[in-house]
Structure 1
Amino acid sequence: MRFGLFVPQGWRHDLVGIDPADQWSTMRDFAAHIDREGSAWESIWVYDHFHTVPKPSPTEATHEAWTLMAAFAASTSRVRLGQMCTCMGYRNPAYLAKAAATVDLVSGGRVEMGIGGGWYEHEWRAYGYGFPGVPDRLGALREGVEIMHQAWTTGSATLDGTYFQVDGAIVQPQPLQQGGIPIWVAGGGEKVTLKIAAEYASYTNFHGSPEEFSHKSEVLRGHTERLGRDFDSIVRSANFNTVIGESEADVARRLDAIEARVAPFLGPEVTARFMADYHAPTALVGTPAQAIAQLADMRERGLGYAIHYFPEAAYDRSGVELFEREVVPALG
């Protein structure tokens, strides 16, 4: 199993209390810690969002994903760099292909392209993108992935589509990576999203219960078989909200600290919703032994890549280090 983790960027209220002038150095230093020689982490990730969750805050930061991609490309040297996931509706795909190719060049060929249809209605409307229905968002996703695939494999893209029209859009220089930047198609929609993944993706990213993961894996297998593609050529990944402690008492202490940090910004009702993510069956919350058992089950179901979000990472790296020290060697 391979491992990545999210850099705190504000979207999930994970930079609260840190002066905006110090937030980049907080993110940069955390990335540098993960980038160090001998680290077990393969990749770092950011979210592509503009407004905080679980409710938009008019004062709290959410740092922009592709600006961070460029910054991390220049400030790290080993780890791969991804977004989970870039929203197709936020940028013209030909422009996105061009920008990503440049970041890939800056990074020395370390970029991953996470892409999806988007869902956060508040920021869609606030930024003037409207909020198309699901069929239109997924239709745009399909066309956008085709444009990026063309751009990275031929150096230009042409498509007279329903949602995007490009005519000989030149993307030079090409990404450094042979065959273009690896595409991660995020989402578990069985009729459209997983079909797009079966055609274009090097990786998928979907979550849910272990049983849901197994079911969607079989749906993906069916799409690949109909296309004549090797199912095992697509690495299946999932994201985990992760809080790891030396003991159950340590886990409880960490959860209490997370709740105390966000409560002044969210209020009691929203804080309860926020913390529910860490009590859900799909969360990875517990001791190293419990985490190993949960991930081992997912590995048996075909999970090849686990990407972890540690809500305390900007303030306390000990959970990340405990995971790296005890969980990764048991599964890596």
Structure 2
Amino acid sequence: MNFGLHIGQQNITIDELRRLWRWADTAGFDWVDVWDHFYEAPPVDGNGSCFEATTCMAAMACDTSNVRIGVLVLGMGYRHPAVLANALCTIDHLSGGRLEIGLGAGWHEPEYRAYGIPFPPIKERLDMLEEGVQVIRLLTTQERSDFDGRFFRLANAACNPKPMQARPRIWVGGNGEKRTLRIAARHADGWNTPYTSPEEFARLSSVLDRWCETEGRDPATIERTVNLSFHMAAAPSDLPRVEAQYRQAWGPAAESMRARGVVTGLPGQAIDLVGRYRDAGAARVNIAIRPSVDWDALAAWTTEVIRAFAG
């Protein structure tokens, strides 16, 4: 069982952010990523601060030595995939070949509207995602690339230097059963789902298996991971404070989130929960944190929860 740290880089200083991923690099995690937002999430009023994702990846690449470097997930509508591919290749070199490419259709409509970025219906956003995945795969693996899609086109396009890795892994994130999981079956090396229960994770994973069969793909070639919102308390005395922070973070959605992918309670309960995801087929559990950072809880996660699954 592997463990990752998914950082919501909002309402935090750059020094604290760098402290987080430097700490994770030697604390038992094999993966660190950030999200791709410009406004706070869940949405509030757009007045919170949020550092940009690809530049955070570059900083992570330079600040760490061990963990895989990613974003779950880069919204395809925010950047042309050819421009994104060039940035990702640079990040792979900065990291010494530790890049992971996470891609999604995008959902945070207030960001799009505020910046004048088109926010088409979900079908078109998924069409853009599927084209963009192919464009990035071509540019990061082929010397010259041609592609003639509805949204993106390449004409004898080069992207040099190539990544240090011969074929960087591409992850598709999301829970859509009709399109997202089929896109993953067609094109991805990994699939990530945010905030789903162990039972729902297993069900969605079986849907992905069926799409793999339809596409002639071995389901075992797609790694499956889950993001869990992290609200664990290190000790019983911390429970009231952590519960208050959880309610503040999720607002009206706090109660409905409890039935989804959330780490609450004490380390023993977290160990039981991670075991259920392992049994459901998850190869990695990523804890998703939003500042303020509870360093005592993170220490308990590494010394008690990660250690319980060592080896």
Normalised to the residue count of structure 1, the TM-score between the two structures is 0.87
Residues 259 and 301 of structure 1, relative CA distance in 2, 3 Å threshold: closer
1:14-53 alignment to 2 at 5 Å? 14-15=11-12, 23-36=13-26, 39-53=27-41
Deviation at 1:249?
A: 4.0
Match of 1:100, SS state, is helix
C-alpha distance in structure 2 between counterparts of 1:188 and 1:59, whole Å: 29
Q: Which runs of 5+ in 2 are unaligned?
A: none
Q: Which amino acid aligns with 2:190?
A: Y
Distance, in Å, in 1 between the alignment partners of 2:239 and 2:145 is 50
How large is the RMSD of aligned CA atoms in angstroms?
Answer: 2.0
Structure 2 equivalent of residue 199 of structure 1: 186
Structure 1: 4+ residue segments shifted above 4 A: 257-260, 274-278
Provide the secondary structure at the position in 2 that maps to 1:174: coil
Superposed counterparts of 1:172-251, under 5 Å? 172-179=160-167, 181-207=168-194, 208-251=196-239
Match of 2:295 in 1: 317
CA distance in 2, matches of 1:58, 1:194: 31
CA distance in 1, matches of 2:43, 2:166: 41
CA distance in 2, matches of 1:3, 1:142: 28
Matched, 1:330 2:294: no
Judging changes above 3 Å, is the alpha-carbon distance between structure 1 residues 155 and 273 closer, same or farther for their aligned structure 2 residues? farther
Query: Does the CA-based 8 Å contact 1:8-1:27 persist in structure 2?
Result: no
Moved more, 67-76 or 142-151: 67-76
| Alpha-carbon distance between aligned partners in 1 of 2:84 and 2:256, rounded to the nearest angstrom | 31
Q: Scaled by the length of structure 2, what TM-score is found? A: 0.93
Does residue 289 in structure 1 map to residue 289 in structure 2?
Answer: no
Q: Distance in 2 between matches of 1:308 and 1:230?
A: 28
Aligned residues: 309
Instruction: Indicate how the Cα distance of structure 1 residues 293 and 228 shifts in structure 2: closer, same or farther if over 3 A, else same.
Output: same
Distance 1:246 1:54 in 2: 25
Shift of 1:56: 4.2
| 2:248 is equivalent to residue 253 of structure 1 | no
Which stretch shifts more, 92-101 or 50-59? 50-59
For residues 29-79 of structure 1, give each alpha carbon's deviation from its aligned partner in whole angstroms, at most 9, with x where no partner exists: 22111123xx21111110101111233445321110001111111222221
Q: 1:276 to 1:157 in 2, by over 3 A?
A: farther
Whether contact under 8 Å (2:8, 2:35) holds in the other structure is: no
Q: Which residue in 2 is equivalent to 1:92?
A: 80
In the alignment, the residues of structure 2 paired with residue 145 and residue 128 of structure 1 have an alpha-carbon distance, to the nearest angstrom, of 23
The aligned residue for residue 7 of structure 2 is 7
Residues 329, 85 of structure 1: alpha-carbon distance in 2 compared, 3 angstrom cutoff: same
**1:142 offset after TM fit, Å?**
0.5
Match of 1:302 among 259, 281, 295: 281
Percentage of matched positions with identical amino acids? 35
| More moved, 239-248 vs 76-85 | 239-248
Unaligned runs of 5+ in 1: 16-22, 263-270
Q: State the partner residue of 1:20.
A: none
